[in-house]
Amino acid sequence: MPFETILTKSLGLKAPIIAAPLGRGSSADFLASVSRAGGFGFVALMHMPEDTVASELSAISRATNGHFGVNLTLIVDQRKRLDAALAAGVRHFSMWHGDLAEHIPAIKEAGGQVFWTIGSVEDARRARQLGVDWIVAQGREAGGHLVGSAPIMSLLPAIVDAADGLPVIAAGGIADGRGLLAALSLGACGVWMGTRFVASRESANHPGYKDKVVEATAADLVETKLFDSGWQNSPHRVIRNSTYESWIKSGQPANGRRPGEADVISRFPNGKPLLRYDVAAPWAAMEGEWEAGPLYAGASTQLVHQILPVDDILAGIVDQAERELARVSRLHKAS
């Protein structure tokens, strides 16, 4: 198996590649496609109402044969969602943005594993003491909500050095085989990618959102705290859109005085209004002003040129990494 690591061995993967949670983009079909292709995917529970978590996870479990994980954003009380996930047989939990210590005992008691997304050396030093199994080191160039304190090229080796032997997965700015090879060279056991998988054929993200990811360059990305309904004061990276441009033109007013704050741009599947500054990214069945919501994307968007099947994405990443490794080996021999 090419690029066999502790991650591929532990999770039974063909490649050390994890699909980050994509909001409603991480559907049962998408996660099943990732699993069949030899990767592993996480689904965020934040967007699931507490009373639907069990049924939604049941559908995902059937589609993936239980080969997936869940993500808990700890800015709200997640105990009910955690309990529902454990009852559904989930054993891989990704956590971030909050205190995970109180949740770890229940996960460990059930035989589960904890992935902790961090952005600092200080957190890496605490991870083993907390009972974390896997560190996800997020570089600042990532898309979506951010915890990274520096670009992945400098942050990753620093976190690996501080991790006390815990395996580290690299996140942020990675979308191809060169990024995978670089991450492994810097001490990671695998990569965690979101932006590349948004623009996959099977993701349940809105088709227009996928097109935006393919079309965007680094100059189209902004780090902001603008889309904050339900998650305030958290920086995130998005593609510029009409909501952002309108806010800039109005002088970047503070929350409460921004243009169109009461605008209903669509509705959630349960009928709840979706407001202009909500944190929800556009999903496939979204009607209304899908472009006005947050179009999360990282710097790796400039490496995404096509909407491809998940299987082709994973195979292409591995093939390119193998070619690059062979090229570097030839350079070494030539010297």
Least confident of 28-32, 128-132, 266-270, 316-320: 266-270
The pLDDT assigned to 334 comes to 75
255 has pLDDT over 80: yes
pLDDT, tens only, 106-140: 999 999 999 999 999 999 999 999 999 999 999 99
The pLDDT assigned to 329 comes to 86
- Average confidence (pLDDT) over 183-192: 98
- The SS3 call for residue 66 is coil
Can you read off the two tokens belonging to residue 133? 């199994």
63 has pLDDT over 90: yes
Give yes or no for a contact between 223 and 214, defined as CB atoms under 8 angstroms apart. Answer: no
Rounded Cα distance between 22 and 16, Å, is: 18
The pLDDT assigned to 46 comes to 93
The pLDDT assigned to 113 comes to 98
The pLDDT assigned to 76 comes to 95
- Average confidence (pLDDT) over 231-245: 97
Q: Is 335 exposed, middle or buried (CB count within 10 Å of its CB: 0-12, 13-18, 19+)?
A: exposed
Nearest Cα neighbor of 63 from 179, 202, 168 is 202
pLDDT, tens only, 273-303: 999 999 999 999 999 999 999 999 999 999 9
335 has pLDDT over 70: no
32 has pLDDT over 70: yes
Give yes or no for a contact between 291 and 133, defined as CB atoms under 8 angstroms apart. Answer: no
Rounded Cα distance between 158 and 137, Å, is: 10
- Average confidence (pLDDT) over 212-221: 97
Give yes or no for a contact between 197 and 175, defined as CB atoms under 8 angstroms apart. Answer: no
Give yes or no for a contact between 32 and 207, defined as CB atoms under 8 angstroms apart. Answer: no
In this structure, how many other beta carbons lie within 10 angstroms of the beta carbon of residue 126?
A: 15
228 has pLDDT over 70: yes
- The SS3 call for residue 11 is helix
164 has pLDDT over 90: yes
Cross-strand pairs, 81 = none
Rounded Cα distance between 21 and 140, Å, is: 17
The pLDDT assigned to 242 comes to 98
Q: Using 50, 70 and 90 to split pLDDT, how confident is the model at 1?
A: low
Q: Give the percent of the chain with pLDDT over 70.
A: 99
Q: What is the mean pLDDT of the chain?
A: 97
Nearest Cα neighbor of 276 from 241, 227, 231 is 227
Which helix (H) or strand (E) is 310 found in, with range? helix 310-334
pLDDT, tens only, 36-58: 999 999 999 999 999 999 999 99
